[in-house]
Amino acid sequence: MENKNPSLKRARSHEPDQESPRMLEENSDLTPRFKLIFSTVAVLTTLALILNVLLAAFGDNSEQVKAAVEACSTTYMMGFGAIVGLIGGKVA
């Protein structure tokens, strides 16, 4: 049985309003510049790691391949350090 008198309706409990995803994004400290830098570092780190594995697996033992593997190793290690630094800088 439905009550048609609006003055007799039960009061609804006030539940905390959840923020919409758009509101959460606007309150976020992640600026578009940070997102661009972070994604660029992440992509370059991933590419260097993949290239390093491919060169190590399928490359010959020439000096050029060894130099390329060493460069890729240095690049992805620095990339991981940069990712940790970027995340740590945003947390602090």
Q: Which residue has the higher pLDDT, 79 or 4?
A: 79
Q: What is the pLDDT of residue 18?
A: 61
Mean pLDDT (whole number) for 58-85: 90
Whether 10 maps to a domain, the answer reads no
Is 8 part of a structural domain of the chain? Answer: no
pLDDT in tens, 1-22: 556 666 666 655 555 556 555 5
Q: How many CA atoms lie within 13 A of 77 on its CB side?
A: 6
CA–CA dist 60, 44 (Å, integer): 24
The answer to whether residue 2 sits within a structural domain is no
Looking at residue 24, its pLDDT comes to 47
Kindly state whether residue 16 falls inside one of the protein's structural domains: no
For residue 50, being part of any structural domain is answered with yes
| pLDDT value of position 8 | 61
Q: Is residue 41 part of a domain?
A: yes
Tokens representing 38 are 């972070």
Instruction: Report whether 79 contacts 44 (CB < 8 A).
Output: yes
Domain residue limits at 46: 31-91
* Number of domains present in the structure of the chain: 1
Give residue for tokens 């606007």.
26
pLDDT at 41: 94
What pLDDT, in 10s, does the model give residues 12-63? 555 555 655 555 455 567 788 989 999 999 999 999 999 999 988 888 888 9
